[in-house]
Structures are given as structure tokens and as C-alpha cells.
Amino acid sequence: MKSFTKLTAIACPFDEINVDTNQLCPTRFNKLPIGDPYLKKVMFHDQRFTQDGKPRNTDFIFNREPYKKAEIIVADQNWGIGSSRESAVYAMASFGIKSVIAASFGDIHYNNMTKNGLCPVQLSQEACHELRSMLLENIGAKITVDLEELKVIAPDGTEYEFNMHPLKRRCLIQGLDDISLTKQYMDAIKDFEANHHKSKPFMTVQKPS
């Protein structure tokens, strides 16, 4: 997994609330494997392209310069609600997105982001609003997301602090995937399991009758 420490990049203001994972990756693209070149076009596909993949709606913000090169999204409430599909994150990553700032996130989507090296940043709704206003006044402005210092630096220099769960933050900064982390616990898992199955034998998987 790629590590995420600090990023300064073009940020795209996106003020719709309740952006669900189906918009980030329409269901029919779930089949695309990681690395498929078409994945670049999948994020908000149906707003950006026609059914057969031709560009449409040049007004749509992700179809416009400089946002085609955005690496940060400043959203609003409930980013990534809906299905657990991780392909939503692959689509975002393929577009080039590395961090999303939002007032709230879909639970599973938030985890899916951190597990793929993308940095979700939760700020207050007012802070998201202020950031988006600055970005709208100053097209193509850059924002800094600093995971080590746990702060976002706005185009005008304003700093916003955020929180992330310490373990998630450590894994992102070190680029440590969960399996490597958990492997350090294999003994504890074995002990737990032996005890669990001994005290509650009915919880082990039975041979089907």
C-alpha cells in the first residue's frame, strides 16, 4: 500500500450531499479489475460520459480543467454512502484522487479509502463550506492535507484541524496494510480461538446434516 503523509494539490469543490458509491462507480463497472484502463473514466461516469463512453456534459465539474487534475475533493455530508463496493475507491484512485474532505462519510467507504491509501478527512460542515467557497473564488487553488500534523491548510492559509483514528493514521502514514499489522497478533488469535471454541463449542461450524 502507498503511504499518505502530506499532500498539496488542486482541490475540487463538490457541494452535493449524499454522494453514494453508485455514482462513484456505477454498478456495471464493478466487474473492472484494478488496473483496467477504463477505470479512469468510472468516477461519476454517468455524469461525465454517455453510455458508450463518449464525453458529455462539459459543465460537469470533473469534466473541466483544472479539475480533471484534482487530487483532493472537498465535499459535504455523507460522502460515499450506500453499497460497500470498494470499486468506488478504485475509481477515485484511478482518476487521481488521493484525499476527500467531507463533513461525514459512509462508514464502509471511509474504511475502504484508508485501506487503499486514500486519506479521508472529516471537518465540520462550516469548514467544508468555507473551503469550497475559497476554491470557487480561486479556481485551481491548492489545498494541503497534512496527515502527520492532522491539519488541512486552505488556499488562504487558514488551518483546520482534524482527527483520525490513531491506528488508521499510523497505517496510512506507514503504508502498512492491515494484514501485515494483524500478522503480529497471530499468537493472540490462536489463543483466543482455542478458548472461544472450547467454551462455546456450538459456535464452531458444524458438519451439515
Residues near other proteins, by CB under 8 A? 16-18, 20, 22-23, 26-28, 30-31, 33-34, 46, 51, 76-78, 81-86, 89, 104, 106-108, 111-112, 115-116, 165-168, 170, 177-179, 181-183, 185-186, 188-189, 192-193, 196, 200-203, 205-206, 208-209
Question: What span, in angstroms and rounded, lies between the C-alpha atoms of 47 and 106?
Answer: 21
C-alpha cell at 21: 458509491
Residue 168 CB, nearest approach to other proteins (Å): 8
Q: Please, what is the minimum distance in Å from the beta carbon of residue 157 to other proteins?
A: 28
Nearer to other proteins, 10 or 81 (CB): 81
Beta-strand ranges (E) seen in the chain are 6-13, 72-74, 99-102, 119-122, 142-146, 151-153, 159-161
Distance in Å, CB of 144 to other proteins, minimum: 25
Helix (H, G, I), strand (E, B) or coil at 121: strand
Q: Cα(198)–Cα(66) distance, rounded to whole angstroms? A: 61
CB of residue 110 vs other proteins: minimum separation in angstroms?
Answer: 10
Q: Which is nearer to other proteins, 8 or 182 (CB)?
A: 182
Q: Given the complex with other proteins, which of 71 and 86 has the nearer CB atom?
A: 86
Q: How far is the CB of 169 from other proteins (least distance, A)?
A: 9
Query: Which residue number, 65 or 205, has a Cβ lying nearer to other proteins?
Result: 205
CA 192 to chain centre: 33
Kindly give the pairing relationship between strand 159-161 and strand 99-102.
unpaired
| Cβ contact 135:102 at 8 Å | no
How far apart are alpha carbons 75 and 18 in whole angstroms?
Answer: 10
Residue placing its CB nearer to other proteins in the complex, 67 or 90: 90
